[in-house]
Structure formats: structure tokens, C-alpha cells
Structure 1
């Protein structure tokens, strides 16, 4: 069952670290990969807690990290 609550800054930070780790399995380093802090400010039009990789949300970032981990070593 999907979790529909808004992610906290901690949740998004963990997500960014998961994605960074999964990218590293493919020898990819993205220095700009980080939490998009303005997405937590006030009433923001997008879902809060974006990752600065194309401003994807945590669900997308986690799916990308899972796919990267799955294909590592192929």
C-alpha cells in the first residue's frame, strides 16, 4: 500500500543517499544530487520533498535507485 503522507526532510535525505549509492554502483557521481530544500517551504505547488535530479519526487527517485541496484554488475 503506498504511503501518501508528505515526506520529511529526513525521508528525502535518505532517498538522496539511496540514489547516490545506487548510482555509484554504476560509477556515476552527480555532485549536484541533493534535497531540493525550497520544496519544503510554505505551500509549494508540487509535492514536497523533491530531489534535484530533474526535480523527481521520492517515489521516482527510489524506483530509479532500485532499478540501478538491480542492474548493477550486468
Structure 2
């Protein structure tokens, strides 16, 4: 376990990483408007790129992690998608 004083640094928010945070927030707002809440939406970056000298560069992109959800939430999400594409 990492001691509190040695917590890993948060990724520097490059344009691509900020894009992932904005996408997560946009999706969360849309889901909330549809009455759906995913319990563990997050933004994750891959491990930092390693340079030839052993140093690390900040991650260049991030992914919106949707986490897990219950079966009823999955059905509600599927229904919202279907209803949104029906028009």
C-alpha cells in the first residue's frame, strides 16, 4: 500500500485528458436527465509512456471508464439508447 505522503500524482490535464473529463461530465449529465446513474464513472489514463532513459512522459490520452452497473440500470440505459435512436 502506498503511504499517504507518496500518493501517485494525478495526470497533468493535457487537451486529450481534458476532453475525456468533459466527455464524462457530458455523459453523466445526459444519463441523469434520462433518470440513469452509473455508480462509478471515472477517467483513467494508461501508464505514463516510458522514454529511453527510464524517465516517464505524461499520458497523452485518457479513457472514460463507465464502471459496473446493476441489471436494472443496464436495461434502463439500453432503453434510453433505443428511445433516442428511434426518432
- The TM-score, its normalising length taken from structure 2, stands at 0.43
Identify the structure with bigger relative contact order (alpha carbons < 8 Å, sequence gap 6+): 1
- The TM-score, its normalising length taken from structure 1, stands at 0.49
Rg comparison, structure with higher value = 2
